[in-house]
Structure 1
Amino acid sequence: MNRRFFLSLTAGAAGAAGWAVLSGCSSATAAAPRPPGLADPARKHVAEAIISSFENSTTELPYAAAQRLGDGRGITAGRAGFTSGTHDLLLVVRRYEQAAGGSTPLTKYVRPLTRIDVQAAEGGDKESTRGLDGFEDAWAQTSRTDPRLNQAQDAVYDDLYFRPSMDQAARAGVTTALGQLALLDTGVQHGVSTGPDDLPALITETGPPSGDEPGWLRRFLDIRREHLENPAYEETAEVWRESLPRVDTLETLIDQQRLDLATPLEWTFAGDRFSLA
């Protein structure tokens, strides 16, 4: 994923969301049931599997993965690509320590991660991995043997990406699982803060909902495509243009009217086919 800035928890309070889809008879009207959104754990699982296919070429969440990608952000680890250069990897390690109630196999890395975090926040070197020798092996082994690390990853992911994206979906009146997936995927890649390419800015540019969620989503994805092709920050340009197939996949799911993300579900991303039974 392509977080450009030092992350901050800037989720706003969720507003009231949705619109009534009415079906009428001669004497009364009643609200038709809406396709469930990502508040449904099964739909959230499908959405996260699709995002993982975009980012990791697998529907499995890579909790134990940790590597140095040479992308200017140090070490990338875990289910959401937390990195040592963008604050969120430190958040996971600290959350894990809190859950464990004391020292963990990753505790010795808190000090160097904090140092890197501070210098990144001050505009310094985000790529530094000084003091992180052996981190990748320690992370992978701990992820496989202590479920509290993976639970910490889930908690930080929800704090940084899922809940802020769902708050934005509520404000925009996006209620379907597919619509919320489109906003969540944008939040994960673009960020959920105040940057010109971040999720809130793209929603504002799309305009208010008109009662036609698929039509609104198409406009939103058109605007996202424009930002991927012409990002505000040149440093993201190459990687973001490689992400254009994410928009293609989401548009195809709209065409197929898979608003509820019900399984079985198949999709294609960048020429590769994925499915959930």
Structure 2
Amino acid sequence: MNRRAFLALSAGVAGWTALSACSTPISAAPRAPGLADPARKHVAEAIISTFENSTTELPYAEAQRLGDGRGITAGRAGFTSGTHDLLLVVRRYEQTAGGSTPLTRYVRPLTRIDAAVADGGDGDSTRGLDGFEDAWRRTSQTDPRLDQAQDAVYDDLYFRPAMDRARAIGVTTGLGQLALLDTGIQHGIGPGPDDLPALITETGPPAGDDPAWLRRFLEVRRRHLENPAYEETTEVWRESLPRVDTLESLIDQQRFDLATPLSWTFAGTRFGVA
């Protein structure tokens, strides 16, 4: 299932020195606080942001047309006009604000685009969205309720469903949950052959926090990134292979708890959280 179908169903760079590995054997990952801990959730989201935005900062105010078939991409999770979730954010913002907002005039064109895509239309259409990018940037920078709406939609669509999956298979460490969350964000959490549940099933019987199971899961994800079920995602997904490299390197460092300070390398660039 592609991202649009899933959503319709709805559901700073730093030059850190290498951190020393802990002494816990790789065969027995320590039981560590997961992403229910706000501090560890923050670290996980910073890592995912480096994958998607090349910065540890969440790009709440960003909005641009990438020419990737999804129309306008905006905000902390790359919500797009062609995949339904940008419309959800704009509507949630109206609810939070209790009425009209600087983005209200875009609800009607976003709804038209959403309906057209659901009927097989062009997800790259931005008809009626002139000026949206500037309005989004200004509003994000001046009204915290838009950023709050982004957080709420992100949690509804991605974070909570991924954590539900993690609990169901006994994955409790921050790193294990990060791997599932990042997979859910990119692949989706629906019933498609490349989605998170399918990858979990293909990996084999869940083994809780066993690092060997997590490595197998990432190997399965790598195969799906190299040869996705949907041809239209092939080029973009192959470019995402360094995401798996980074997660595997954190296993090698035994950074299961995502405790700070933490550093990692993504696609040749070093990042860190103090």
* TM-score, structure 2 as length reference: 0.91
Question: What are the within-5 Å matches in structure 2 for residues 170-209 of structure 1?
Answer: 170-209=167-206
Q: Is the 8 A contact 2:6 2:189 kept in 1?
A: no
Paired with 2:137 and 2:87, the residues of 1 have a C-alpha distance of 16
**Alpha carbons of structure 1 residues 145 and 211: separation in structure 2 relative to 1, 3 Å:** closer
Match of 2:5 in 1: 5
Match of 1:99 in 2: 96
Deviation at 1:10, TM superposition (A): 5.2
SS of aligned partner of 2:270: strand
Deviation at 1:211, TM superposition (A): 5.0
Q: Is the 8 A contact 2:96 2:149 kept in 1?
A: yes
In structure 2, runs of 5+ residues without a counterpart are 12-28
Paired with 2:208 and 2:145, the residues of 1 have a C-alpha distance of 42
Which structure is higher in RCO with an 8 Å CA cutoff and minimum separation 6?
2
- Which range is displaced more, 71-80 or 120-129? 120-129
Match of 1:127 in 2: 124
Question: What are the within-5 Å matches in structure 2 for residues 47-126 of structure 1?
Answer: 47-126=44-123
Deviation at 1:4, TM superposition (A): 5.0
Paired with 2:246 and 2:95, the residues of 1 have a C-alpha distance of 38
SS of aligned partner of 2:5: coil
Measured against aligned partners, the alpha-carbon deviations of 1:241-260 in whole angstroms (never above 9, x if no partner) come to 00000000000000100000
**Alpha carbons of structure 1 residues 132 and 204: separation in structure 2 relative to 1, 3 Å:** same
Q: Which amino acid aligns with 1:247?
A: V
Paired with 1:210 and 1:187, the residues of 2 have a C-alpha distance of 19
1:37 to 26, 34, 59: 34
Match of 1:16 in 2: none
Deviation at 1:42, TM superposition (A): 0.2
Deviation at 1:172, TM superposition (A): 1.5
Size of the alignment, in residue pairs? 256
Q: Is the 8 A contact 1:177 1:260 kept in 2?
A: yes
Q: Which amino acid aligns with 1:193?
A: G
Paired with 2:272 and 2:206, the residues of 1 have a C-alpha distance of 31
Question: What are the within-5 Å matches in structure 2 for residues 215-254 of structure 1?
Answer: 215-254=212-251
SS of aligned partner of 2:7: coil
Paired with 1:263 and 1:148, the residues of 2 have a C-alpha distance of 29
Measured against aligned partners, the alpha-carbon deviations of 1:131-166 in whole angstroms (never above 9, x if no partner) come to 000000000000000000000000000000000101
Q: Is the 8 A contact 2:222 2:241 kept in 1?
A: yes
Asked whether 1:162 is paired with 2:162, we answer no
* TM-score, structure 1 as length reference: 0.90
